[in-house]
Amino acid sequence: MIKPIPPAFLYIVGALFIPFFKGRLKPLYLLSVSVIAFINLFFMEAGTRWVHPFLNYDWIFLKVDRLSLIVGYIFILIGFLAILYSLHVKEDGQHAAGFLYIGSSLGVIFAGDYFSLFIFWEIMAVSGVLLIWYHRGKESLDAGFRYLLMHFFGGSSILIGILIHAYSTGSMIVGPLENSWASLFILIGFGLNTAFIPLHTWLPDGYSEGTVTGSVFLSVYTTKTGVYVLARCFSGVDLVAYMGGVMALYGVIFALLQNDTRKLLSYHIVSQVGYMVAGVGIGIPLGVNGGIAHLFNHILYKSLLFMCMGSVIYMTGKRKLTELGGLAKQMPVTCLTCLVASLSISGAPGFNGFVSKGMVLSSVVEAHKPILELLLFLASVGTLLSFTKLCFYTFFAKNQTIQTKEAPWNMQLAMGATALLCIFYGVYPQALFNLLPFPPVSVHPYSTSHVIGTIQLFLGAGVVFMMVRSAFSPLEGMVLDFDYFYRMAFRGIAWLADVAFNGLRLRVQTAFSRRIDGVVRLSRDPMLIFERIIAYFQPNVEGFYNPETGRSKIDEPIYDENWYRKPMGLGVLLAILMLFIYGLIYILQSKMG
């Protein structure tokens, strides 16, 4: 029998071969990698390991248990569907970025030691940003840089935590962390990927600027790997549980004010991930099972929502609710699948969100956390309102100006299949329960009180929505988030570096240059001294020199900042890389040996 290999390698190595396939072979190749990865995973059992000793250190690239298996399954399944959705994309780079992103996420999931986890974590950040940058345009470029900056900050925090952890405990096995400085740094890094408030701003910023297909990938992996590592290392931490409640409510309040469809969906990722974080933070088996079940279901309906809105953008070129409307007849498949996804995320009976949301809420009650229950309840109401608004203003509101047709076949097929899965796991939740990390799962989601209660919640909110619908009308504009403070702080730093420090440098340089140039000129022509005296007493007379640069105006070169920036940036990058490799070798040899 063939020994299973880490699924991450299949995608990462698979990305290298994408340019070699042309024509009809390309879609087949792209899809077959996920099929092989799924079969490979299917034959893995809890306890399977893939350890590679190197530099006196055991790199554990594969460590399988029930928790990693269920997340691995859904990652590969949705990877297949997202690739199907993006088959029409001609650029190999986009497909390769998607493969690297899926592969690195799977690498994090199956990593058994912190160093392998960290390396895959960073590949995930870099490949994720490519999915934003491929959208091109200034907004995407800027959003990508902000995404990268925040993720590198998170990555650095994790690295610091890992190093402290390695020195204090001598262990590098991924597992529950004690309360310490190491765990604090690691929690900040994990929390950033999981969109903890106020470290979440990269998410709505970046995901709304990704390519149509790239945002489908993005909506799945980064935050869910965050939830996974929290479940692995910080399960049962109260701070994490309450952070989940705050995220759930914060996300919906911001979502209600969004006009950009993908920004609205992005804020709902923050909110829905809040449910998972709450479940994982509760820490009891029902909570972790609920959190992971919600992760599984959320991946299905959220990627479906991004597919639907991606189709709308792809076909109409419009992304704002104020510009959309009346698409139900022109894009029936997109409309129907979007309704399925909206009902799923809102937790309607018969759809997958109903099951897992109920599990998280039950775990909160079981752990006796009333405030958390109220926060999650309120978030449920907000989710329903947001998606009523999204569907209404995209598909049903009157708009005669848009003439379009349904999305390409591959997009429709991916949306249809994902919608069917949302319904399947809603009506037959046992299929999901069998995979959850803490068996046996004795949950009865379709109890009378739960079904009636959910319908009551929907109708209560629906009645108010009908009465004050104008309160939910989309508005042209944007809502400032915490990134306002980051941006202002960075502008302050930029001002300090450019105006204050660089200004001081220029003044000093100008002063010295003037003196030296003066001496040189005077030594050539001593009679110039009289001219200088006149210029001194009549400062308005145009001089020989540019006061900004201190150079003669005649031979002053045109300043191109990139000419200086590029080698500097490359140098810094190489220095950081070398420092990291040096540190890694040093630690592995001195501590782990």
Partner 1 sequence: MMKTLKIVIWVMAIITIFVGFFVAREHDSFFWHRIPSMEAVFGVLGTLILIFLSRILALIAFKKEDFYD
Q: Which is nearer to partner 1, 122 or 373 (CB)?
A: 373
Smallest gap from residue 398 Cβ to partner 1 (A): 11
Binding track over 364-403 against partner 1, x by CB under 8 A:
-x--x-x--x---xx-xxx--x------------------
Shortest Å, Cβ 373 to partner 1 = 7
Separation of alpha carbons 187 and 171, rounded Å? 17
Binding positions for partner 1, 232-261, rule CB under 8 A: 252-254, 256-257
Phi and psi at residue 113, in whole multiples of 5°?
-125, 155
Closer residue to partner 1 (CB): 29 or 377: 377
450 part of the interface to partner 1, by CB under 8 A: yes
Q: For residue 593, what are the contacts with CB-CB under 8 A and spacing of at least 6?
A: 56
What are the distances in angstroms from CA 275 to CA 28, 289, 373, 420, 436?
37, 12, 10, 23, 16
- Give the span between the Cα atoms of 226 and 161, in whole angstroms: 16
**By the rule CB under 8 A, 465 interacts with partner 1:** yes
- Which residue, 382 or 437, has its beta carbon nearer to partner 1? 382
Instruction: State the Cα–Cα distance between residues 385 and 245, nearest whole angstrom.
Output: 18
Interaction between residue 452 and partner 1 (CB under 8 A): yes
456 interacts with partner 1 by CB under 8 A: yes
| 449 counts as binding partner 1 under rule CB under 8 A | yes
Interacting residues of 561 by C-beta distance below 8 A, sequence separation 6+ = none
Q: Residue 57's beta-bridge partner residues?
A: 54
Q: Is residue 209 close enough to count as binding partner 1 by CB under 8 A? A: no
Per rule CB under 8 A, is residue 137 in the interface with partner 1? Answer: no
The stretch among 276-284, 342-350, 461-469, 528-536 that binds partner 1 (CB under 8 A) is 461-469
Verify binding: residue 345, partner 1, rule CB under 8 A.
no
Size of the site for partner 1 (CB under 8 A): 46
Using rule CB under 8 A, residue 560 touches partner 1: no
Question: Cβ contacts of residue 88 below 8 Å, gap of 6+?
Answer: 408, 410, 411
Non-local CB neighbours of 172 within 8 Å, separated by 6+ positions: 57, 113, 114, 115, 162, 165, 166, 592
Q: Minimum distance between the CB of residue 349 and partner 1, rounded to whole angstroms?
A: 12
**580/588 Cα distance (integer angstroms):** 12
CA distance 534 to 523: 18
Torsion sign over Cα 111, 116, 118, 122: negative
470 binds partner 1 (CB under 8 A): no
Q: Which long-range contacts (CB under 8 A, 24 or more apart) does 366-374 make?
A: 366/284, 366/286, 366/287, 367/241, 367/282, 367/283, 367/284, 367/287, 369/241, 369/282, 371/242, 371/245, 372/241, 372/242, 372/244, 372/245, 372/278
Q: Decide: is 454 part of the binding site for partner 1 (CB under 8 A).
A: yes
Contacting residue, 169, 401, 447, 473, with partner 1 by CB under 8 A? 447
DSSP string for residues in 99-149 = HHHHHHHHHHHH--BHHHHHHHHHHHHHHHHHHHHTT-SHHHHHHHHHHHH
- Tokens linked to 575: 């220095």
**Which part of the chain contacts partner 1 (CB under 8 A), choosing from 190-198, 232-240, 361-369, 578-586?**
361-369
Nearest approach in angstroms of CB 124 to partner 1 is 27
Scan residues 474-503 and list those touching partner 1 (CB under 8 A): 475-481, 484, 487
Residue among 82, 71, 70, 33 nearest 307 (CA): 82
- Report the residue from 28, 471, 499, 519 that binds partner 1 according to the rule CB under 8 A: 471
What does the block give as tokens for 245? 């409640």
Q: Give yes or no for residue 462 binding partner 1 (CB under 8 A).
A: yes
Single out the residue of 118, 202, 221, 458 in contact with partner 1 (rule: CB under 8 A).
458
Least Å distance, CB 217 to partner 1, is 26
Tell me: does residue 348 bind partner 1 (CB under 8 A). no
Say if residues 294 and 279 touch (Cβ distance below 8 Å): yes
583 binds partner 1 (CB under 8 A): no
φ, ψ of residue 213 to 5 degrees: the values are -85, -35
Beta carbon nearer to partner 1, 450 or 591: 450
Closest distance of CB 476 from partner 1, Å: 7
Q: Which stretch binds partner 1 (CB under 8 A): 116-124, 225-233, 441-449, 578-586?
A: 441-449
DSSP alpha helices (H): ranges in 170-210?
Answer: 181-193, 202-207
Least Å distance between CB 374 and partner 1? 8
Give min distance, CB of 142 to partner 1, in A. Answer: 9
362 near partner 1, judged by CB under 8 A: yes
Binding site for partner 1 (CB under 8 A): 252-254, 256-257, 362, 365, 368, 370, 373, 377-378, 380-382, 385, 447-450, 452-466, 468, 471, 475-481, 484, 487
